[in-house]
Amino acid sequence: MSITKEALQRFEETAAHYIHELDKFSLEQLKQKPSDNEWSIGQMVQHLISSALYMQLRNVDQCLMASQDPSVSREEKTVDGGAVFAQGSFPPIRIHVPPSAQYTPEQPESKEQLIQGLHTVIQRMQEIEPTLDKASKQNTVSHPRFGGLCAEEWFLLVEMHYRHHLLQLGRLKEGISSYEIR
User: Does residue 105 fall inside a structural domain?
Assistant: no
Confidence of residue 102 (pLDDT cuts 50, 70, 90): confident
64 contacts 135 by C-beta, under 8 angstroms? yes
Range(s) of the domain holding residue 85: 3-31+39-91+111-176
pLDDT tens by residue, 54-101? 999 999 999 998 766 667 677 899 999 999 999 999 988 887 776 667
User: Does residue 55 fall inside a structural domain?
Assistant: yes
User: Does residue 78 fall inside a structural domain?
Assistant: yes
Spatial distance between the Cα atoms of 172 and 161, rounded to a whole number of angstroms: 17
- Average predicted confidence (pLDDT) for the chain: 91
Please spell the DSSP secondary structure of 113-156, one letter per residue.
HHHHHHHHHHHHHHHHGGGGGGS-TT-EEEETTTEEEEHHHHHH
Spatial distance between the Cα atoms of 136 and 49, rounded to a whole number of angstroms: 26
Residue 181 has pLDDT above 50, yes or no: no
Helices (H) and strands (E) in the chain, counts: 7, 2
Spatial distance between the Cα atoms of 157 and 49, rounded to a whole number of angstroms: 13
User: Does residue 103 fall inside a structural domain?
Assistant: no
User: Does residue 135 fall inside a structural domain?
Assistant: yes
User: Does residue 101 fall inside a structural domain?
Assistant: no
Q: How far is CA 180 from CA 21, 45, 67, 108, 172, in A?
A: 14, 21, 54, 20, 14
Spatial distance between the Cα atoms of 140 and 148, rounded to a whole number of angstroms: 5
Please give the pLDDT value at position 182. 46
Spatial distance between the Cα atoms of 26 and 180, rounded to a whole number of angstroms: 10
CATH at 83? 1.20.120.450
All residues at 6 or more sequence positions from 26 whose CB lies less than 8 Å from its CB, including other chains:
182
107 contacts 7 by C-beta, under 8 angstroms? no
Output 182 or 105, whichever has higher pLDDT.
105
Sequence letter at residue 68: Q
Question: Based on the structure, what is the number of domains in the chain?
Answer: 1
User: Does residue 44 fall inside a structural domain?
Assistant: yes
User: Does residue 134 fall inside a structural domain?
Assistant: yes
